[in-house]
């Protein structure tokens, strides 16, 4: 008989030229000693290894193959097929990232060997005073103007910069030109895709003294040239009691993320349905109770992520601090409908 339980994954750390060591300094992750700049911690990478229970030592990708819809859920399978649907990350932008754009699913399927496109969102965890992101254009533009600006290394004159602070929620649908600025640390959730087109890099040179590779033509194919209607999203309150607060941060066809703030070891109960749930801890510590009569439990601490399989069933969350709670919503999801009513989507 298959056993379903919260899967604790060992995150994978990714060294980048723009990363730093804030993930360790702020108590999110342990980073190897030395002069290593970590830009990203991938929480649900398919090569990540399970650290607890019956499936200890197996990768997430292996469990997707073995458990299929029981792990993923019917709605996640309907949208994404038999692949893990979403990639969660902690990102430390110690320096400005290049300007990028991602394709939507249909373009990626045609031009990237059947891969998914990438829609994502950012939840700003910390931001230095005056920190900014690049998001869209200042005014409507077109392919010719943008192509000329890239060639002349003046694209930054067309780009809109937005100041950000902790708590900001940024939705980045496919086709949005964007970049994370220096001094920003955030939580990102995205379609599970590695398709990124580097559109512009301010004329910077790599460590070898050469310009970094750009993907200009494909960027120009997929970018939205109009001005975005809304940059910072409005969370929607779902509950606010003496024991917990529940807000929907973001909702779209690919993902829905709630922030559950537990107070004084309060309990929140639920049941998994048509999607697996990605649970990331931003607070101190929480316990996930599950199984017959909720007699089994698994803990989760700050900076850790677990996956609740779709077939898990009834569960209870108990603890202190914030948890990010993400899944693939059904079209009739009432929380998604509430969120849309408050945002320009």
* Residue whose token pair is 């309990």: 267
184 near 164, Cβ under 8 Å?
Answer: yes
CA distances from 286 to 11, 144, 203, 320 (A): 18, 52, 46, 6
Nearest to 83 by CA among 94, 73, 97, 92: 73
* Residue whose token pair is 């869209």: 136
* Residue whose token pair is 């087109």: 197
E-strand stretches of 4-158: 7-8, 12-20, 38-42, 86-93, 99-101, 120-127, 132-137
SS3 state at 22: helix
- CA–CA distance, 273 with 158 (Å, rounded to integer): 45
Nearest to 259 by CA among 241, 250, 247, 271: 247
Which of these is catalytic: 8, 22, 132, 198? 198
Q: How far is CA 244 from the centre of its chain?
A: 23
Q: Is 198 a residue of the active site?
A: yes
Q: Which two tokens stand for residue 294?
A: 């909720």
**Does residue 39 come out as left (phi exceeding 0), alpha (psi in the -120 to 50 range) or beta?**
alpha
- CA–CA distance, 57 with 50 (Å, rounded to integer): 6
- CA–CA distance, 295 with 105 (Å, rounded to integer): 42
Q: Could you give the residue numbers annotated as active site?
A: 198
């Amino acid at each position: 008989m298959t056993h379903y339980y919260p899967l604790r994954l060992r995150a994978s750390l990714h060294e980048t030229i723009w990363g730093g060591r804030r993930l360790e300094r702020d108590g999110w992750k342990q980073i190897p000693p030395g002069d290593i700049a970590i830009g990203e911690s991938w929480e649900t990478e398919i090569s990540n290894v399970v650290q607890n229970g019956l499936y200890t030592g197996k990768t997430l990708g292996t469990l997707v193959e073995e458990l299929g819809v029981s792990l993923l859920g019917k709605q996640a399978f309907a949208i994404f097929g038999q692949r893990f649907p979403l990639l969660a990350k902690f990102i430390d932008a110690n320096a400005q990232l290049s300007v990028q754009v991602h394709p939507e699913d249909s373009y990626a399927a045609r031009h990237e060997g059947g891969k998914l496109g990438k829609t994502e969102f950012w939840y700003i965890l910390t931001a230095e005073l005056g920190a900014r992101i690049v998001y869209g254009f200042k005014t409507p533009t077109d392919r010719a103007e943008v192509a000329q600006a890239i060639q002349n290394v003046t694209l930054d004159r067309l780009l809109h910069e937005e100041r950000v602070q902790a708590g900001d929620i940024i939705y980045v649908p496919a086709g949005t030109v964007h970049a994370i600025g220096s001094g920003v640390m955030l939580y990102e959730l995205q379609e599970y895709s590695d398709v990124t087109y580097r559109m512009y890099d301010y004329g910077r040179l790599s460590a070898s003294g050469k310009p970094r590779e750009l993907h200009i033509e494909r960027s120009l194919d997929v970018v939205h040239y109009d001005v975005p209607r809304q940059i910072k999203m409005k969370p929607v309150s779902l509950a606010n009691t003496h024991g917990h607060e529940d807000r929907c941060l973001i909702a779209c066809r690919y993902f829905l993320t709630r922030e559950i703030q537990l107070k004084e070891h309060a309990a929140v109960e639920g049941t998994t349905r048509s999607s697996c749930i990605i649970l990331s801890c931003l607070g101190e510590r929480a316990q996930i109770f599950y199984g017959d009569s909720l007699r089994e439990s698994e803990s989760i601490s700050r900076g850790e992520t677990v996956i609740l399989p779709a077939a898990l069933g009834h569960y209870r969350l108990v603890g202190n601090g914030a948890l990010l709670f993400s899944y693939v919503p059904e079209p009739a999801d009432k929380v998604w409908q509430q969120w849309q009513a408050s945002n320009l989507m």
